[in-house]
Amino acid sequence: MFDYIIVGAGSAGCVLANRLSENPETSVLLLEAGSNDDAPEIHMPAAFTSLFHSANDWDYMTEEEPHLNHRKLHWPRGKVLGGTSSINAMIYMRGNRANYDHWQALGNKGWGYVDVLPYFKKSEHQERGASEYHGVGGPLNVMDRRYTNPLSFTFVDAGVELGWSHNDDFNGASQEGFGLVQVTQHQGKRHSAAAGYLHPVLNRPNLTLKTGVLVTRILFDGARAVGVAYLKDGFEHQDMVNNEVLLTAGAINSPHLLLLSGVGPANQMHKLGIPVIADLPGVGRNLQDHLDISVACSSKQPITFYTIQTEENLQEFLHHQRGPFTSNISEAGAFVKTRPELALPDIEFHWGPILFIHNGAIQVERHAYTFVPTLVTPQSRGHLELRSSDPTVYPAIYANYLSHEDDLQALVESVKMSRKLSQTKAFAPFFEDELYPGPQIQSDQEIIEYIRNYAQTMFHPVGTCKMGHDELAVVDSQLRVHGTEGLRVVDASIMPTIPNGNTNAPVIMIAEKAADLIKNDYKTNRGNLVMSPQ
């Protein structure tokens, strides 16, 4: 019997395991379907794409996307200690302060920017030092990269040449402009949530970690969560809980587990013979993601990452943790508006000195660099649903990309922006040819067709267990699942709307805040129990 059972040792799960086990009188069980994070590719920043389709990837695919010419898109999600923070591009980005003020305006008290900023700072060890916007001494190391390709500086210069501002801190006073990104690394290696939060505390006697376990359902006594069932080595096991079950399995696995356990749309569960615990229509709905499109150019100068894999570069990394292998590839970025009247930037540029088409699946034998404008304020909404009551069968994912016309038009404008950047004086010494979409693609309709054929995900699914009080809300502002007791969701799925930036830092913030909510509830409930009349 444990005080808390945490399902999923991803970014949020590692945070909760650390914070809840700080009290030696609190027993915590952390369950992870994947393995330990000992694959060397995890710790070599530039190798992150080699983790896609590996044993460390859940390797999800969407259903055929009707607005992307019926393509199925690959959704890599971390199946390993640290979750997706162990396989991502390590960009430290919080989103815009208005994103969180909007959450609060939707009725989620305590989630405005002034409320969440302290948790961003608490989580962070900012190597630049403490400031109004940044903290030091936190578990997650945030740093400037040890290596920067010369073309990344060129990208920033090109943006400034076209009239945008230079921004050396996208997480500071202003989000807009062009600049180099900071990364979650330490001494040139990946600093995942597992590295920052979990490994330093695994020796705590009150923290138990089990890997290679697939949680199959939450156990209920009435509407109260009392434990979990899971598969380990082909056999079912159960562990029971005193206080709470905490779902930190991510925007796909958390709603999937709720549905398997009888929490979700009643009609969906009735069809599969799953007893209904709580009829919550919003479980699996409200799915949002960041879609991007690549504009790739060949380089006249041989300075891209096309030739990164040399013995010299490898030895520099292995012996000194320096050189190109410490790069997160997407070294520079920008936040811009496709229309001046927009309140927030709707495009985040990811940029890298490498060809990046179809998540790196397409290769050309030449030096190239890629502009990757990403739609960070999508209006399109998707959903996921059960295919089967068998927990080993993946849910069906309907991302529904580009179902809203505004999303398509923003990406069309972003392709035009990319082309303008490629033709600046800054890029003149390097630009040779446009490889994708290619000079033959010129009209808006031709660009639209290119987008439908080549758009890809930036790997940021959120929203499938949204926080709120409307008919699609799954959790309240304390992250407690409506209609149940002893059950919370703490991960990207609780986001009512997607932040307009990379989502890993926001997930860590959510978990830091949730840890305090859980601790405060425990103190309150214990106090009420002690003071109640006999």
Catalytic residue IDs: 460
Tokens of 61: 């695919």
Rounded Cα distance between 82 and 139, Å, is 13
Tokens of 64: 């055929």
Rounded Cα distance between 172 and 124, Å, is 14
Quick one: how far is CA 367 from the chain centroid?
Answer: 29
Beta bridge partners of 71: 65
Rounded Cα distance between 150 and 331, Å, is 10
- Other C-beta atoms closer than 10 Å to the C-beta of 266 total 16
3-class secondary-structure state, position 482: coil
What residues contact 379, with CB distance under 8 A and at least 6 apart? Answer: 404, 406, 407
Residue 90 C-beta-side C-alpha neighbours within 13 Å: 32
Rounded Cα distance between 52 and 153, Å, is 28
Answer for the pair 129, 522: CB distance below 8 angstroms, yes or no: no
Exposed, middle or buried by CB within 10 Å (0-12, 13-18, 19+), for 136? middle
Picking from 100, 85, 84, 483, the residue whose alpha carbon sits closest to that of residue 283 is: 483
Q: How far is CA 23 from CA 208, 222, 523, in A?
A: 14, 29, 12
3-class secondary-structure state, position 70: coil
Q: Which long-range contacts (CB under 8 A, 24 or more apart) does 219-227 make?
A: 220/261, 220/262, 220/277, 220/484, 223/277, 223/278, 223/483, 223/484, 223/485, 224/484, 224/485, 224/486, 225/484, 225/485, 225/486, 225/487, 226/486, 227/5
